Structure 1
């Protein structure tokens, strides 16, 4: 682009230099993913996948996995306790607060399954990217993933000495320290250590104790060793750990203990009135050894051997009042070992495939108690000397063989195929002692049982390349989630009826189109889908009235989800980039007679947690500042999530005994604005940034809930937070 002719030559040259970046659209960087166990261009992978790379992680300032959901369409991650973290993709997900019930979305670190709910909300420590895959992924990832998978991929050690230091401070006395060191130990051996420590004061005041709840206090680390014998053989050892201890947040009570009258002890927002502080402690340890051997003829083999241990202690004032009535305490632990073998075919062959074997063994242990005080015993007709206790173990052994591949039918047509055969056995040895439960009628029983589920899950897709930059695909995939056992505070009637539940299966159909346009300045990723679930497992509280609850896991006859995801990235210049993502979703119980309160037919009702649509928008701008030897970055993000229900009954309000109504079973729209303004030196040696989240300070709820005694609670979202971040790289 030429500057106006009447300007002096020197000034004209300066103006032209400034205008040059706006003269023509800039080409997007090519995104490479490893979702199919190979390095492939994102535009050629026949999967609905979102790549959340290093640049996005740094620019958005996300610190924990649950925060990523704000930027990915049709992805929701719960923001309550870490004990019961839940991940949902396309409206389908679950938490595993019950050791006999598994999640539906697998979360992985470098291909290793992280385990159950308490292990899911990880610190995003030294990651290269996060890949979010939608739909069944059994032919690609080890554990049963009927709804999708999230794979966090770390930055591996290399042959360059270097490191980084970071410090952050924000409101609510938020502070974070992070450090990373990459150290070449020899010509073939490289090491890396990354650590992070994060603290924040609580956001919710407990008037009963004077303490603040929903605080953050955690430390995490990752240590890696990489041995590279010239590419023919590599060995990668990774150790990671997380320790958190905090006063947790279990919601603001809006009714009394029994859900009969409005709560009056804590009328202000972000306040509760309990005589005990909810608290949780997590300790997570992981180790993984990945071996790669390239035979020189294009074939290679990979072995991933891993172990993970998760322990969590969780306690709550289950009556949600200032009275000393009852306290609930959980002590759960999971120990797991996984082994995966892969045979990877040559890249240049017309038929490419990854064939593998997978083994998963987990021991889940649980000890849970509800203790009544003397006053509680009088009100509940319970025995204070006999706490209601559940105690037991579930051993899981899972074996699988899988294949995922493609065949080039022609220069443009490609046939994809795969299957997974799984056999999963669960053995349970569990007891419940409800002798002291009084009017609540908890069971007293012991259960020793075993169940085995087998499944063959095929997948097939047809991919067509319209050009080097645009491809489309149609895909069918099948998946399954094994059955299990309802190991919770249940009644004698539940025990007599049988506490096991059947496996669920899903048939998923998808049409996708992805690629780039406008000289590769505009990238797009489109997918239309429908998934049909049979024997869908539902874990819910059933209100029995009079403050009594049944914690039920049953199989709904059929669930259907359908919708669309659209993602766009447009880079009109080297300095400016726009991102947009849209998700449309229709998720419902297609057939679920007797699934609601009092046996109501909830067929046709929407799935809990499923929003009809969501929107994510972002704009980022770079501008050089030669006087400072730096570059300015400005980014703003906007996210919108449509309203959604929290229960299968699709309630919105509950009428209390007093005639008052409270919001229950429904959450209104959520709109959030985040922004970041930062500087980075031209040589990348230092960074400084100001950031803010929920800048409009919107008051919003993330869920409404009914606890065991009938208390209705509201979970408030995080208010406006802001801070400053400094970094040094060497």
Structure 2
């Protein structure tokens, strides 16, 4: 089988005293708020916004500054851009930012990589190489960001090691998400979208003053869809479901020298996300395709996955419950020092129900459920800026407690599908559990010497100590027939009782930064940076081959990255053109990656020797005429294993008689990393009479071929693809608010493409299809 795809000061003061409850309380309150809520942009300032690029403020060096003054490769995506481009899922951010890739199946099996580094899905016992933050709180799992991107202020993508100030495991980069804060001027938004395949999304936000010193904000959403994958077995649809969530905030600001922001959020998902379709059945070895022959022997009927079809006789389902709370306090101290404290707690519960991919009972249900809790505390002291030297120093603690449960409920055709002796696995139940505790402590400091009015030198250092304790066990198998001999040995190897005992890891790791940057003019900055980042190791929380390879095989070593950057940031043509470019060279030793154990049919973490990532990044924004904004960004990235001698073999090798137990993948391209990536986005808006503003938007996202799975099989190669999204709409004023209606078309040319591939049993491969062409409408009212 081939691959298958204007108001007065008095009125302002009166408004600020309105309780937030009144803003929520029906038409009388709404009318009053509308009467006093207008755009704060004057005609002159609006005209400037239509013809000149605006300054974007970031806090990536833990103080507010223009993104163009930060000597780091960074892409900033504003909340307005997300809304205009209809981007509300984390896996779609890669269509806006260069060098970013999100490998997504569902909340657990997802990963974020930058420059090809960090593809580690389903890593319960290991944090990712890309640091993921929301409102200055580190998220220990990529799945903690799998919710609708609601009420977002901006997203910052920082590329390269950022370990000095973003210290928890950032050897590849940082995705920093900032939500909109409570306001002392009332804001309210309601938005509804309807599209094909039963897509329906509604979300709303209300923000405003409760007292003169206290403001609040509440945002909520609900999204559902029927799904876009058809099931041949019983006409069900998959890859749909529902997601719901809310975020509440309070901002206490008694004076200009102190602020306290509390955030609490909750999100849940009930869906069939992660439904994989058949991509390829693998090689033919000695005239036999193992996947197809065993499927036929078990009585299964295969369907072409590129037709957006599956043939499942059981459920494909995930539930996610997650949330958390954080408190951030900022004090302005004497002499303009700023002290910051951030305290946070989060939880994440994930439960799957996975079919075996066939329409016969080889496995009724299999998967891994996870219960994860984390807590963190950070203190930072920032010196005043404007002198010859400024600095930030601080301390950080992160704790984590995670439990998982691995389960497999084998059916009567299990032995046929698995190629085991009769009775070895059929009708057997196997349950295992894993646990890991993590405690991480860090001290950090970063300072900038302003050597001349134009030349700055920055140095940073962070020291981290981390300890992890874990255990893995598996119960004795239940059910099945009494067996002896080969069948008993195979049952014991795949489902037998096991106890790893206590597993411990202790690590002390440094991260550092040296950077020179020079302002050639007020609008042109050049920089050169050397940085070193480290992240600790982890533990495989599934038994896998540990009974034969030993408990030490469950341990994964640390990862160390050295990076060099040479870049230029410029704002040209009277603030109409922003052009940023940089060269990078990164080498990672002890690179952590996922591999697949074909014998035990389990994915596992391992250290893949050394990896080199080198290339060029470009990020540009242009306003050539009034109302037209163009953004073009892209990456050339050559990322390869410099040394990976004990890699898993692809099935075209491993299925042959006398096949080696490992293969040498040195020189091969790293999994999931396209060499060329280009994103182009455009928006054009113009003014009509009566305050009406039509607009059109378009986006084009292209990426070249990528290796689909770590063993680099010729049967698991992701083809290049391009996706085009279009929309058109009209805005206008109503009362003291603004309405906005639009028609949008995602994947306008209905491109069938796979975003991620996964190993399947018997040498086959399954994949995650990108969304098909989807037509929809959105109506929004801001008041």
With the length of structure 1 as denominator, give the TM-score of the two structures: 0.91
Q: Which of 599, 605, 622 is 2:668 aligned to?
A: 605
Correspondence for 2:566: 511
| 1:204-215 matches, cutoff 5 A | 204-215=229-240
Q: Give yes or no for contact 1:132–1:148 (8 Å, CA) kept in 2.
A: yes
Distance in 2 (alpha carbons) for counterparts of 1:181 and 1:327: 43
Q: Which of 322, 325, 329 is 1:291 aligned to?
A: 329
Q: Give yes or no for contact 1:590–1:603 (8 Å, CA) kept in 2.
A: yes
- 1:433-488, CA deviations, whole angstroms, 9 ceiling, x for partnerless residues? 46568636236321212111111111110000001101010001111121111222
Distance in 2 (alpha carbons) for counterparts of 1:258 and 1:299: 67
Q: Give yes or no for contact 1:319–1:709 (8 Å, CA) kept in 2.
A: no
Q: Which of 710, 713, 718 is 1:667 aligned to?
A: 718
Q: Which of 611, 614, 623 is 2:677 aligned to?
A: 614
Correspondence for 1:729: 782
Q: Give yes or no for contact 1:371–1:384 (8 Å, CA) kept in 2.
A: no
Correspondence for 1:431: 473
- Structure 1 residues 318, 279: closer, same or farther in 2, change over 3 A? same
Q: Give yes or no for contact 2:412–2:427 (8 Å, CA) kept in 1.
A: no
1:315 aligns with 2:353: yes
- 1:148-177, CA deviations, whole angstroms, 9 ceiling, x for partnerless residues? 111111111111123111111111111111
| 1:348-367 matches, cutoff 5 A | 348-367=386-405
Q: Give yes or no for contact 1:605–1:649 (8 Å, CA) kept in 2.
A: no
Distance in 2 (alpha carbons) for counterparts of 1:612 and 1:385: 46
Which structure dedicates a bigger proportion of its chain to helix?
A: 2
Correspondence for 1:474: 528
Larger displacement relative to structure 2 (373-382 or 116-125) = 373-382
1:85 aligns with 2:110: yes
Distance in 2 (alpha carbons) for counterparts of 1:24 and 1:81: 39
Distance in 2 (alpha carbons) for counterparts of 1:98 and 1:389: 19
Q: Which of 465, 470, 485 is 2:519 aligned to?
A: 465
Correspondence for 2:291: 259
1:649 aligns with 2:697: no
How far residue 635 of structure 1 moved from its aligned partner, in angstroms, is: 1.0
| 1:530-679 matches, cutoff 5 A | 530-544=585-599, 548-549=600-601, 551-597=603-649, 598-627=661-690, 629-653=691-715, 665-679=716-730
Distance in 2 (alpha carbons) for counterparts of 1:185 and 1:260: 65
1:407 aligns with 2:449: yes
Q: Give yes or no for contact 2:103–2:121 (8 Å, CA) kept in 1.
A: no
How far residue 489 of structure 1 moved from its aligned partner, in angstroms, is: 4.2
1:95 aligns with 2:120: yes
| 1:662-701 matches, cutoff 5 A | 665-682=716-733, 685-701=738-754
User: 3-state DSSP class of the match of 1:599?
Assistant: coil
How far residue 322 of structure 1 moved from its aligned partner, in angstroms, is: 3.0
Q: Give yes or no for contact 2:472–2:542 (8 Å, CA) kept in 1.
A: no
Correspondence for 2:424: 382
Pairwise CA RMSD of aligned residues?
Answer: 2.2
Q: Which of 418, 425, 446 is 2:460 aligned to?
A: 418
User: 3-state DSSP class of the match of 1:29?
Assistant: coil
Distance in 2 (alpha carbons) for counterparts of 1:320 and 1:137: 44
Which structure dedicates a bigger proportion of its chain to strand?
A: 1
Q: Give yes or no for contact 1:637–1:673 (8 Å, CA) kept in 2.
A: yes
Q: Give yes or no for contact 1:319–1:327 (8 Å, CA) kept in 2.
A: no
Q: Give yes or no for contact 2:581–2:618 (8 Å, CA) kept in 1.
A: yes
Q: Give yes or no for contact 2:314–2:364 (8 Å, CA) kept in 1.
A: no
Alignment length (residue pairs): 695
Correspondence for 1:332: 370
Correspondence for 1:662: none
- 1:355-383, CA deviations, whole angstroms, 9 ceiling, x for partnerless residues? 11000000010011111123436764335
- Structure 1 residues 501, 330: closer, same or farther in 2, change over 3 A? closer
- Structure 1 residues 287, 24: closer, same or farther in 2, change over 3 A? closer
Correspondence for 2:580: 525
User: 3-state DSSP class of the match of 1:68?
Assistant: helix
- Structure 1 residues 66, 102: closer, same or farther in 2, change over 3 A? same
| 1:197-208 matches, cutoff 5 A | 197-208=222-233
Distance in 1 (alpha carbons) for counterparts of 2:131 and 2:528: 23
How far residue 136 of structure 1 moved from its aligned partner, in angstroms, is: 1.0
- Structure 1 residues 714, 300: closer, same or farther in 2, change over 3 A? closer
How far residue 558 of structure 1 moved from its aligned partner, in angstroms, is: 1.0
1:61 aligns with 2:86: yes
How far residue 65 of structure 1 moved from its aligned partner, in angstroms, is: 1.6
Distance in 2 (alpha carbons) for counterparts of 1:237 and 1:666: 46
Q: Which of 679, 704, 711 is 2:757 aligned to?
A: 704
Q: Give yes or no for contact 1:138–1:479 (8 Å, CA) kept in 2.
A: yes
- 1:668-714, CA deviations, whole angstroms, 9 ceiling, x for partnerless residues? 11101111211122565211111111000011111232235644213
How far residue 25 of structure 1 moved from its aligned partner, in angstroms, is: 9.9
How far residue 429 of structure 1 moved from its aligned partner, in angstroms, is: 2.3
- 1:396-442, CA deviations, whole angstroms, 9 ceiling, x for partnerless residues? 00001111221100011000110110011000022124656863623
- 1:247-288, CA deviations, whole angstroms, 9 ceiling, x for partnerless residues? 233311354996244884324611111111211000111100
Q: Which of 236, 241, 252 is 1:227 aligned to?
A: 252
Distance in 2 (alpha carbons) for counterparts of 1:22 and 1:455: 51
Q: Give yes or no for contact 2:203–2:221 (8 Å, CA) kept in 1.
A: yes
Q: Give yes or no for contact 2:360–2:413 (8 Å, CA) kept in 1.
A: no
Distance in 2 (alpha carbons) for counterparts of 1:23 and 1:151: 28
- Structure 1: 5+ residue stretches without partners: 1-20, 654-664
Correspondence for 2:25: none
Q: Give yes or no for contact 1:24–1:572 (8 Å, CA) kept in 2.
A: no
User: 3-state DSSP class of the match of 1:387?
Assistant: strand
User: 3-state DSSP class of the match of 2:125?
Assistant: coil
Distance in 1 (alpha carbons) for counterparts of 2:141 and 2:541: 15
Correspondence for 2:434: 392
Q: Give yes or no for contact 2:595–2:648 (8 Å, CA) kept in 1.
A: no
| 1:116-265 matches, cutoff 5 A | 116-253=141-278, 254-255=280-281, 259-261=291-293, 264-265=301-302
Correspondence for 2:4: none
User: 3-state DSSP class of the match of 2:414?
Assistant: helix
| 1:11-30 matches, cutoff 5 A | 26-30=51-55
Q: Give yes or no for contact 2:121–2:594 (8 Å, CA) kept in 1.
A: no
Q: Give yes or no for contact 2:458–2:516 (8 Å, CA) kept in 1.
A: yes
Q: Give yes or no for contact 1:605–1:648 (8 Å, CA) kept in 2.
A: no
